Amino acid sequence: MRPRLTLLALTATLSLVGCRGRAPAPAPPAPTVAAPAATEAPAPAASAPAPAAQTFTVPDLPDYPGATRSKLETAEGKEGWARKVEAKFRTADPLDTVRAFYEKAIEANGWQVDGTSVKTEKGTGKVKWTLSKGTSAAEVKLESEKEGGVEIELERKDR
């Protein structure tokens, strides 16, 4: 029995000597209470910009400020023109205000006025300019509506 006790003491001593150079094993982490998951705001859905937010302008015929665009068409090689652009807008502003804006814009953008038409009827009015510049032709049409506001039509054709 003595050899067994000696062997047991020797094994215990070697175990202690062998483990002395090592750091003790880390204690397991204390259990934590999970914090409620942070909720992220959903990313805004991609949506088409409202017509008024778009910045496309019929070349040299600006969009009326604050107007809502209801139509935009472009065509290539149609009706003998290399390119045609047409846009329609609606604004709540009175006809006289819209008319003054386009009178200035036509002059500022170098258009030659080939014809002007002004018609007024009970509570409504229409203004039309026929324009030219180089090999381009254009029309600006304004029409007031009985319920208020103005419809604006811009058209440019290029050869």
Could you read off the pLDDT of 8-38 as tens digits, one per residue?
Answer: 444 544 444 444 545 445 554 544 444 444 4
Separation between Cα atoms, residue 27 and residue 137, nearest integer Å: 85
> Burial of 104 by CB count in 10 Å (0-12 exposed, 13-18 middle, 19+ buried)?
exposed
* Confidence at 1, pLDDT banded by 50, 70, 90: low
Q: Which of 149, 119, 113, 143 is nearest to 131 (CA)?
A: 113
Report which of 106, 99, 90 is spatially closest to residue 138, judged by C-alpha positions: 106
Strand, helix or coil at 12?
A: helix
CATH class entry, domain 68-158 = alpha beta
Give 102-156 pLDDT, tens digit per residue: 999 999 999 999 999 999 887 689 999 999 999 999 999 999 988 889 999 999 9
Answer yes or no: pTM beyond 0.85.
no
